[in-house]
Amino acid sequence: MEHINYKEIVDNSHNGACVLDLERTIVYWNQGAERISGYTAAEVLGRHCYNLLVHVDSEGRAMCGDDSCPAARSMRQDEPCEMEVYLLHREGYRVPVVSRTRPVKDANGVTTGAVEIFNENSRELAALERVKELEKLSLLDELTGLGNRRHAEMHLQSRLDQLARYDWPFGLLYFDIDLFKQVNDTYGHDAGDRVLKVVAQTAQAGVRSFDLVSRWGGEEFTAIVENTNGPVLLAVAEKLRRLVENSPVALGGDAIVTTVSVGATLGVPCDSIESLVKRADELMYKCKERGRNRVTLG
């Protein structure tokens, strides 16, 4: 059989591939990993994964401790591990990936490290298609890549019509970035734009694939959450809030920790777009009064 260069195949794979030693130092990083994370091999080789990639779970909890890290678990328990996690991109936003980790052994069967293969969740592909559609219809917010206010209003009216006609439930999250003016005043408007992008991308990654995040205006965003009830809406809002809180924006030697306040409410048959948004907005301001970085359901 003709010799096959397996390393070249892995080097050029579309999926991310990473090899760690027992100390979780990165010793291999392929082109797929560069594409998904934004980090080049030169930037990561020789560094510990827990000081760089900082995975979090679907609840926004850090997974870099010995008990929660998939690679550490694979090496310790000598078994494969597959999880849905959120990788911290070089630009500061969260990327949802499916991570598959397994131990690496030497010729004597002794564990010497772990290999992780990861790729984007299918929602990323759906998001790219959504962006293309929005560009065609002039419904795209150019800075964040989300739908704009007009886009959100169109979908809100559609959901209200479906609620009235078919009793299909939905909820609205209305959230804005806490102390955003301080970011602009301290670091400048370019930094403020980066924060807006990171929050937008992290929020989009944090909701379900069929939910819709839009930029309402300024530092304010909405998320239309479909087929929901109070507890589910609250869980989606809390997940979004935690993911944003755990996605600091790197700026020079500083890391800007960003939080959001979220008003969450269910649509009711007598609602208009104006009444629904007003109710969610008032709930969001209750979060501000109570100290920010929280969710209020009403």
Cα 88 to chain centroid, rounded = 8
Q: Read off the tokens for 266.
A: 């269910």
Q: Which residues are catalytic?
A: 219
Long-range contacts of 101-104, Cβ-Cβ distance < 8 Å, separation of 24 or more: 101/70, 101/71, 101/73, 101/74, 102/74, 103/74, 103/75, 103/78, 103/79, 104/19
User: What is the Cα–Cα distance from 193 to 180, expressed in whole angstroms?
Assistant: 10
User: What is the Cα–Cα distance from 158 to 223, expressed in whole angstroms?
Assistant: 14
CB 159 within 8 A of CB 212: no
CB 246 within 8 A of CB 60: yes
Q: Which residues contact 155 (CB under 8 A, 6 or more apart)?
A: 147, 212, 214, 224
Q: Read off the tokens for 54.
A: 């900082």
